[in-house]
Amino acid sequence: MKTFVIANWKMNPSSSAKAEFLFNSIKDGLENIEKLGKKTEIVICPPFPYLSIISNIYNPCLPSPEAKATGGQVKSNIKLGAQNCFWEDPPAGGGSFTGEISLLMLKDLGCKYVIIGHSERRMFLNETDRIINKKIRAVLAKRIEPILCVGENRKDKEQGKTQTVLRKQIENGLKRISKSDVKKIIFAYEPLWAIGSGRPCSPDEAQVIRLFFKKVISQKYFRSIADEINILYGGSVDSSNAKSFIEEAGFQGVLVGGSSLKPKEFIELVKNI
């Protein structure tokens, strides 16, 4: 199985020149990671305006002219992802959607992945489970891989409601998604109290939640499907703790915010797992 490291740059850095520099630094440090015998898929998710800049300098997911001729893809362990999308296609989807970004646009830029339902979007932009489910279904229909984020906040945790909250987010996010499609979703457990706090969930606690994800997915689909699902951990992951979420807690990778903006730290993180 592959290990995933998803870099969520959020609303950073502050200029396109800095984005180009950040991407090039990461690329130079990691381009040949496969030579170390690692099967790591590194997914860089910059803000929308920088997607085309990065796609133009690197084009990690688009077929090269030679690959296009043979129907293949550029071989690279660094892929491009988006942090959000809209669920309709313009204009046949029946309306105009000022300010939104379509999946066709993301696909054209070479995005292989899209983060859906990040807690900051749920919290500050009122993204509901219903909206998240629409986005997941639209992403799957375009053959892009969704990264579905779910997580409880501190109050939920203190009130013992973690599993209830997670079950609701998972089940609602998966409405009308087939058995074959659910396997294409990458799940990310991101407890809100751990995001950006410098205090990650302990690997033991995270492991219990990972098994709970499998239980919920088994109950909705089959055990065999739950066994195939990729589940990542996110929340204050850095180069010193990333490995523990994979080796001790059994996750298939990590979703990284703050540490993905520091090239040395991020390269170290990938090399350490």
Catalytic residues, by residue number, are: 118, 190
Q: Is 41 or 226 the residue whose CB approaches ligand PEP more closely? A: 41
Q: Is 62 or 255 the residue whose CB approaches ligand PEP more closely? A: 255
Which SS3 state, helix, strand or coil, does residue 251 take?
coil
Q: Is 170 or 226 the residue whose CB approaches ligand PEP more closely? A: 170
Question: At a CB cut-off of 8 Å and minimum separation 6, what does 263 contact?
Answer: 22, 25, 26, 29
Nearest to 213 by CA among 199, 203, 227: 227
Q: Count Cβ atoms below 10 Å from residue 26 Cβ, excluding itself.
A: 22
Nearest-CB residue to ligand PEP? Answer: 257
Q: Return residues touching ligand PEP (CB under 6 A).
A: 8, 190, 195-196, 234-237, 255-259
Minimum distance from residue 94 beta carbon to ligand PEP (Å): 33
Minimum distance from residue 264 beta carbon to ligand PEP (Å): 16
Q: Count Cβ atoms below 10 Å from residue 244 Cβ, excluding itself.
A: 19
Q: Is 45 or 139 the residue whose CB approaches ligand PEP more closely? A: 45
DSSP alpha helices (H): ranges in the chain? 16-30, 48-57, 65-70, 103-108, 119-124, 129-141, 154-158, 162-173, 179-182, 203-220, 223-228, 242-247, 263-272
Minimum distance from residue 198 beta carbon to ligand PEP (Å): 8
Minimum distance from residue 156 beta carbon to ligand PEP (Å): 17
CB burial of residue 255 (10 Å; 0-12, 13-18, 19+): buried
